[in-house]
Structure 1
């Protein structure tokens, strides 16, 4: 179980500043459509790419499943192509499959389009997945 301090560090602690997509929302969506044709997408802002702290055995299991030891949290949804989320809601993804072009975080069902700057941080699996709607 994650401690309150771990969760606070995830939200408010220092992280590595990352640029995300600097251009227009339309250009970002076009880029994603070419890279991931037909896949659902979610444009997000104020995001945190979370590198999960895992054991070597956990990392091996994730790799075997084709997953990254990473997840994404976004404070603001701008647009969800499938209408699952309303604008201005927050979202936390499942484990990632790929991180492409510095602005596209792919999971099994969705490509999260990182519009504008965000942060990269480390956290335990417990802290990262303690957030649920």
Structure 2
């Protein structure tokens, strides 16, 4: 294996498996159906994905790379999809969002195309853009 590949795999491994800081965001299982319905009313037709064991990633971009002003440099990742309104993904799949557009009610992470309903506790960590975008 090349040194470059070893480096990339190491960065991905740290992004996925380093502990991170415990986050106070997310809703309970009991609240999740109410939050799902809220997402349906905020933007009808937008995909909704509920996730647990989630990670909120603060994305660092290289100097000179600008994030559009209407987006925030954050993504969510989860190795445990609960449900997907579009039926594209299945329960138990992993999922990574695109950049944050809005955040609602401490648990609805909205991107340009989807809502991610953060269920239960999760973690927060900083991940570089190259690593985050390599997972898709």
Of residues 20, 29, 37, the one that matches 1:30 is 37
In the alignment, what sits opposite 1:45?
A: 52
**Count, aligned residues:** 129
In the alignment, what sits opposite 2:110?
A: 106
* Distance in 1 of aligned mates of 2:80 and 2:41: 24
SS in 1 for 2:16: helix
Give the alignment's TM-score, normalised by structure 2: 0.83
Checking the alignment, whether the CA contact within 8 Å between 2:46 and 2:115 is kept in structure 1 is yes
SS in 2 for 1:63: coil
Checking the alignment, whether the CA contact within 8 Å between 2:49 and 2:81 is kept in structure 1 is yes
Checking the alignment, whether the CA contact within 8 Å between 2:80 and 2:93 is kept in structure 1 is yes
In the alignment, what sits opposite 1:11?
A: 16
Deviations 1:7-47 (A, max 9, x none): 22212213121131124231221232344344221111111
SS in 2 for 1:62: coil
Which runs of 4 or more aligned residues in structure 1 lie more than 3 Å from their structure 2 counterparts after TM superposition? Answer: 34-38
In the alignment, what sits opposite 1:63?
A: 68
SS in 1 for 2:38: helix
Unaligned stretches of 5+ residues in structure 1: none
* Distance in 2 of aligned mates of 1:14 and 1:42: 23
* Distance in 1 of aligned mates of 2:63 and 2:73: 11
Bigger-Rg structure (1/2): 2
- How far did residue 72 of structure 1 move? 1.3
Give the alignment's TM-score, normalised by structure 1: 0.84
Unaligned stretches of 5+ residues in structure 2: none
RMSD: 1.9
